[in-house]
């Protein structure tokens, strides 16, 4: 009923080095080892790692996941902490969408106006060089 790190990786779709990384930073408890020092996992490990993976998919950072895991381990606490973490993440996502939408608009405008001749009259390059450009925040991606 116990299995290797590679098997855990296969079952959770999390890469082997990532699992070791999660252990190193304390997201996953160090599992028992074989005599030859190889890690052995059980079903609970799958659940825990899947939890982490789902949280990462939703973009929670490691600190948030640490908090969410500790909530899961203490089910008698109020849910409001989890709620606050998820709300904060939602706010981030919404802000991100808004700023990317603005980027999209600007990129579309640049591209539409580009007649695709020489660089000398290229709207893409011109737009970037335009010193009267509004100053937004840097795109984080």
Residue 87, contacted partner among DNA, a second copy, none, CB below 5-8 A by kind: a second copy
Residues that bind a second copy (CB under 8 A): 13, 46-47, 50-51, 53-59, 68, 71-72, 74-80, 82-83, 85-87, 89-90, 93-94, 96-97, 100-101, 103-104, 106-108, 110-111, 114-122, 124-125, 127-131, 133, 135-141
CB of 32 to a second copy, least distance (A): 22
Which CB atom, from 4 or from 127, has the smaller least distance to a second copy?
Answer: 127
The alpha carbon dihedral of 58, 19, 51, 25 has a sign of negative
**Is residue 53 within 8 Å of 12, Cβ to Cβ?**
yes
For helices 5-12 and 43-57, give the axis angle rounded to 10 degrees: 50
Which CB atom, from 63 or from 76, has the smaller least distance to DNA?
Answer: 63
Task: Give every CB contact of residue 29 below 8 A, 6+ residues apart in sequence.
Answer: 23
**Is residue 114 within 8 Å of 108, Cβ to Cβ?**
no
CA atoms of 35 and 49, how far apart (whole Å): 24
The alpha carbon dihedral of 18, 20, 21, 27 has a sign of positive
Residue 58, contacted partner among DNA, a second copy, none, CB below 5-8 A by kind: a second copy
Residue 34, contacted partner among a second copy, DNA, none, CB below 5-8 A by kind: DNA
Which CB atom, from 4 or from 127, has the smaller least distance to DNA?
Answer: 4
């Amino acid at each position: 009923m116990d299995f290797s790190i590679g098997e855990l990786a296969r079952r959770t779709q999390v890469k082997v080095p990532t699992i070791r990384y999660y252990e190193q930073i304390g997201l996953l408890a160090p599992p028992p080892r074989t005599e030859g020092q190889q890690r052995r996992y059980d079903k609970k490990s799958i659940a825990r790692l899947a939890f982490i993976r789902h949280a990462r998919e939703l973009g929670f950072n490691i600190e948030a996941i640490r908090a969410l895991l500790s909530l899961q381990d203490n089910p008698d606490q109020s849910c409001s902490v989890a709620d606050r973490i998820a709300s904060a993440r939602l706010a981030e996502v919404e802000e991100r969408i808004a700023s990317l939408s603005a980027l999209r608009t600007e990129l579309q405008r640049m591209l539409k106006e580009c007649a695709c001749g020489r660089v000398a009259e290229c709207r893409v390059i011109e737009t970037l060089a335009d010193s009267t450009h509004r100053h937004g925040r840097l795109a984080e991606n």
